[in-house]
Amino acid sequence: MNCLRELRAEKNWSQADLAEKLGVSRQSVNAIETGRFDASLPLAFKLSRLFRLPIESIFFE
């Protein structure tokens, strides 16, 4: 579970925009947002830095 979609919406970014900032494919962002793929720790840290939020605020059980 994560609130990536909401955080992305707040910034008015498309999945492609976020993917470009993270250096991954758009499908990766889609898969993480829908919970079909768990982001690795390095990617979670990248998201944390990008949104200036602790990892546990983005990802939760």
Query: For binding to other proteins (CB under 8 A), which residues are involved?
Result: 23-25, 27-28, 30-32, 36-37, 40, 43
Closest CA to 49 of 31, 15, 23: 23
Q: Are 23 and 16 in contact (CB under 8 A)?
A: no
Tokens of 12: 């008015």
Least Å from the CB of residue 23 to other proteins: 7
Q: Which is closer to other proteins, CB of 10 or CB of 27?
A: 27
Least Å from the CB of residue 32 to other proteins: 8
Least Å from the CB of residue 39 to other proteins: 8
Distance CA 33, CA 4 (A): 6
